[in-house]
Amino acid sequence: MPTGNEPKSLGLLALAGLQPYQPGADEEYMNEAQTEHFRLLLKAWRNQLREEVDRTVTHMKDEAANFPDPVDRAAQEEEFSLELRTRDRERKLIKKIEKTLKRIEEDDFGFCDQCGIEIGIRRLEARPTADLCIDCKTMAEIKEKQLQG
């Protein structure tokens, strides 16, 4: 259970023990060095999420109690419910990470699914599972807002 005294969560690059990728002047986009950089980044992220799942299971087993006080029992059930929702989102993210790792293996990583242009190293370091360039993602968000509006 977090106590509030833990260090802030590390960024993805720090988590993977990587520095921001610095491409050379004439370096081809998504060459072997770049794809390996993102492969390491994605695998470290996936491992961290899996560790969180394991910690949650352990925490829930260790902390599960049958409190006689209904308020205490409700508080524990709410805490567990929040943890399970978070883990469910992380489970979906793990699937997206695995899909992205497969795209790396198929040499289909780093290019926009809609227009085919380069997504960009910095955008991919910030969001390694991105499959749209910033322009296409912006347009998709605008369309989504209009449909909800």
| Residue set of the binding site for Zn(2+) | 112, 115, 133, 136
Locus of tokens 């370096």: 27
Q: Tell me the C-alpha distance between 60 and 29, whole Å.
A: 45
Locus of tokens 């380069």: 118
Burial status of residue 8 (CB atoms within 10 A of its CB: 0-12, 13-18, 19 or more): exposed
Q: For residue 31, give every residue at least 6 positions away whose Cβ sits within 8 Å of its Cβ, in sequence order, or none.
A: none
Give the bridge partners for 111, in sequence order.
118
Cβ atoms within 10 A of the Cβ of 33, count? Answer: 12
Residue numbers in the known binding site are: 112, 115, 133, 136
